[in-house]
Amino acid sequence: MGQQPESSPTSNQMAADRTWMAQERTLMAWIRTATSMIGFGFTIDKFFEGRPPNPHTLLTSRDFAILMIGFGLIALTLATIQHLIEIRSIAGRTTRKRRSIALALAILLAVLGTIAFVSAALRE
């Protein structure tokens, strides 16, 4: 009867929505990559824990583990910075207020990755 029809989203709003979702998917892909690198490094560290290092190798298993965890954290940090820059750009073109779940997950993974990095680096 007296109901107002919902206003249809404009093509600009729909484009901003698609771009937002693409940014979320991109950060999630980086989160998966960083998780793999951090997890692989931590696994290498734990697997070879307690074994004597080979004096004839350039990198010990512990060095390799620390590098893998570090590369995962660097990749995650750079991807998160890029995500924030792009999201701020999109926010200027839309009236919608959004919260990034991928960003929250990236921050949590960065905390866990930092703990793994410190654990591997401080282990004797």
pLDDT at 120: 86
pLDDT at 6: 60
Q: Are 98 and 20 in contact (CB under 8 A)?
A: yes
pLDDT at 117: 92
pLDDT at 39: 93
pLDDT at 124: 64
Q: List b or e across 48-58, with b for residues whose CB sees 16 or more CB atoms inside 10 angstroms.
A: eeeeeeeeeee
What phi, psi does 48 have (nearest 5°)? -95, 10
| Residue spans of the chain under pLDDT 70 | 1-7, 9, 95, 124
Give per-residue pLDDT as tens, 65-85. 999 999 999 999 999 999 999
Domain coordinates in residue numbering, the chain: 13-49+59-122
**Is the full-model pTM beyond 0.95?**
no
